[in-house]
């Protein structure tokens, strides 16, 4: 039985001091739930036997509120989000690190639950959390817990995923329904009740990506449409590649309950964050192959072809991203200046 | 001229939304100050050509208060701290990532100054910041800015630094004076004035470490005595290796002004955090070689032999770390349960 996890026990400033209290917290919560041979080395710097190849490195600070929501929590979200960022480089993740900034007074029981969920997400994904750090800040200088995760991965030989590869005529695919994560968070935050509970799509996509790049090595680019949603992701890619893009609204998968919630709340699913979806741009004649691979994975079940890359256009040209609407018109899909939902991830 | 850095401008929630405002903030502040070819790729996941070898990975959340202090700021501290953690594995750092959690209302000018200092520290150390993330939290849920940095490095062939290597009779060395960082922070925080300004020792130690492990490959272990100070570091190592250790108080270098401030404040320099110092344990007959290498670097100018590894002892035995005092007695040097100075790094 843990001596730390007494009923009602909370995180104190001493847990961040680097002394005995920190050591106990790390052993009884993080080391227990994250258990793996590399972390067990117990060095500040974890040693990893990396296969040879090009490395990728990615980092994310997670400040989602609330900390727990339908479909996940800040711990599983941090693991999935960082794995996905590594995977979007076409790489296979090999290790994660996690740094915690905890607010004084945070219930140790909640921290334990989040660490457990985080450890489970990492184990399920087959990517160990190899090193970490814990800091504690005074009450009123945090919000429960923030988690910064970093991932490293190895890019297989021959894979060169980059916006520069995008060319006119290519196909634009998404791996599933849009808006689930953002609407799940918002519903929870606002105490909204829908007839169906809307759950976050938070999921690790690296296994699906491994099969996609193995089947179609000439995939141009992969991106996860998180903050800012699909519109921010595609606007950024169109800008970086200097092309126009046209989407077909009727083809974009959105769950009816998410569409309903968006209508109620005056939101556009195109702008809402996703945490278990990817956008793939590939040569048009390989689109069906990519769709087949995605649909063979549970996380790509609802994959769809949603648009086409158009002509070259000078970066900075307004209206690079357009959509053919349900009623047959055309509208520009702009990115929002801000995010309608702060602290979504 | 930056459109962002208008006088009085502050960080708003929209800067964390992932849309256009985030892109502007990242371009005009972080990308400008961190400029390097890998970051310029502009992918979420940075690609790094890693030399072959074993990798190390380390992470730190930085929550130091105040954000700016004599001898550095949270930005340079984050770079130095993470480089040092990589170096303590005997590795040479090859890349850093940085995740920012910024409080709404934080002056953009201060953020710019910190990012500039961070970029300079990374350039001076020759270790690029290759990827990053920016989140914004509401007023009252942060404290200006927190920075989580992660470092990766490569361990040279033949280097196997680990506490298990520690053996009876080995020498215990430190690379310089103790307590400078902690006392610099505390003085600033409490508005104390001393006749001499006490500056943080914040510095990157990887170049000195490279020369040390090249000269003496059988160095047993390297550690940076940060939070919890030298006493926490040596207690942890004694515990991990299952040995006793004896220090010679007269040999431990402490600046007179730091000793004076500690006396005034009732603190023990053994418990105070350092940010540019290392502890090295090596075979006794190589101690002079290691000292010579350290002293040939400005950051090891005051290096000293401070003690000896004693007999084997079961882990958990109380009093593993002892000190011969100035007056010839012996006392146990325990680690503190907490940290006398919260948010020191």
CATH of the domain at B60: 3.30.1330.10
What is the separation, in whole angstroms, between the first and last Cα of chain B?
Answer: 33
The C-alpha atoms of residue B154 and residue B168 are separated, in whole angstroms, by: 29
User: Is residue A117 domain-shared with residue A67, that is, in the same domain?
Assistant: yes
Interfacial B residues in 221-240 facing A (CB < 8 Å): 223-224, 226-228, 232, 236, 240
Query: If you measure CA to CA, which chain B residue comes closest to A87?
Result: B45
Most confident residue range from A227-241, B36-50, B206-220: B206-220
The C-alpha atoms of residue B156 and residue B162 are separated, in whole angstroms, by: 14
User: For residue B137, which of A73, A83, A144 has the smallest C-alpha distance?
Assistant: A144
* Cβ-based contacts of A91 with chain B (< 8 Å): 45
User: For residue B227, which of A95, A74, A21, A98 has the smallest C-alpha distance?
Assistant: A21
Cross-chain Cβ contact B339/A273 below 8 Å: no
Q: Which two tokens stand for residue A281?
A: 């741009």
Interfacial B residues in 163-202 facing A (CB < 8 Å): 163
User: Is residue A20 domain-shared with residue A147, that is, in the same domain?
Assistant: yes
User: Is residue B296 domain-shared with residue B269, that is, in the same domain?
Assistant: yes
User: For residue A92, which of A161, A145, A35, A139 has the smallest C-alpha distance?
Assistant: A161
**Helical ranges in A26-156 per DSSP H:** 32-34, 74-88, 108-125
Please count the structural domains in chain A. Answer: 2
Q: Fill in the DSSP letter of residue A256.
A: H
The minimum CA-CA distance between B51 and chain A, rounded to whole Å, is 9
Beta pairing partners, A42:
none
pLDDT tens for chain A, residues 1 to 345? 467 888 999 999 989 887 788 888 999 999 999 999 888 887 777 888 877 778 999 999 999 999 999 999 999 999 999 999 999 989 999 999 999 999 999 999 999 999 999 999 999 999 999 999 999 999 999 999 999 999 999 998 888 888 899 999 999 999 999 999 999 998 888 777 766 789 999 999 999 999 999 999 999 999 999 988 999 999 989 999 999 999 999 999 999 999 999 998 888 999 999 999 999 999 999 999 999 999 999 999 999 999 999 999 987 888 899 999 999 999 999 877 655 678 989
User: Is residue B96 domain-shared with residue B220, that is, in the same domain?
Assistant: no
In a domain, A75, yes or no: yes
Residues A204/A208/A214/A216 CA torsion (nearest 10 deg): -120
State the CB neighbour count (10 A cutoff) for residue B40: 11
User: Is residue A114 domain-shared with residue A198, that is, in the same domain?
Assistant: no
User: Is residue A151 domain-shared with residue A204, that is, in the same domain?
Assistant: no
For A57, which of B45, B146, B338 is closest by C-beta distance? B45
User: Is residue A143 domain-shared with residue A187, that is, in the same domain?
Assistant: no
* ipTM entry: 0.94
User: Is residue A250 domain-shared with residue A323, that is, in the same domain?
Assistant: yes
User: Is residue B177 domain-shared with residue B114, that is, in the same domain?
Assistant: no
User: Is residue A102 domain-shared with residue A175, that is, in the same domain?
Assistant: no
Yes or no: say if B53 and B90 are a contact pair by the CB < 8 Å rule.
Answer: no
In a domain, B113, yes or no: yes
């Amino acid at each position: 039985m843990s001596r730390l996890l007494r009923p009602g026990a909370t995180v104190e400033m001493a847990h961040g001091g680097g002394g005995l209290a920190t050591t106990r917290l790390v052993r009884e919560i993080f080391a227990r739930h994250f258990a793996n041979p590399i972390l067990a080395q117990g060095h500040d710097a974890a040693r990893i036997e990396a296969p040879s190849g090009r490395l990728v490195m990615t980092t994310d600070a997670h400040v989602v509120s609330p900390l727990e929501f339908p479909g996940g929590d800040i711990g599983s979200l941090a693991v999935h989000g960082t794995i996905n960022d590594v995977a979007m480089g076409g790489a296979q993740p090999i290790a994660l690190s996690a740094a915690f900034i905890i607010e004084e007074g945070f219930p140790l029981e909640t921290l334990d639950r989040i660490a457990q969920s985080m450890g489970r997400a990492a184990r399920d994904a087959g990517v160990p959390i190899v090193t970490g750090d814990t800091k504690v800040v005074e009450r009123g200088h945090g919000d429960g817990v923030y988690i910064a995760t970093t991932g490293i991965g190895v890019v297989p030989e021959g894979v060169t995923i980059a916006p520069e590869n995008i060319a006119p005529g290519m196909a634009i695919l998404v791996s599933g329904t849009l808006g689930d994560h953002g609407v799940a968070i918002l519903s929870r935050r606002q105490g909204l009740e829908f007839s169906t509970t809307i759950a976050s799509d938070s999921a690790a996509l690296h296994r699906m990506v491994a099969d996609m790049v193995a089947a179609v090595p000439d995939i141009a680019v992969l991106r996860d449409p998180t903050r800012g949603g699909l519109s921010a992701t595609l606007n950024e890619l169109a800008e970086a590649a200097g092309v126009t893009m046209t989407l077909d609204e009727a083809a974009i998968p959105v769950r009816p309950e998410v569409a309903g919630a968006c209508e109620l709340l005056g939101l556009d699913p195109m702008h809402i964050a996703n945490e278990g979806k990817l956008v793939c741009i590939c040569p048009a004649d390989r689109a069906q192959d990519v769709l087949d691979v995605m649909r063979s994975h549970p996380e790509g079940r609802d994959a769809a072809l949603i648009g086409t890359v158009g002509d070259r256009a000078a970066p900075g040209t307004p209206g690079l991203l357009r959509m053919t609407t349900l009623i047959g018109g055309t509208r520009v899909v702009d990115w929002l200046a801000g995010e309608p939902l702060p602290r979504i991830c």
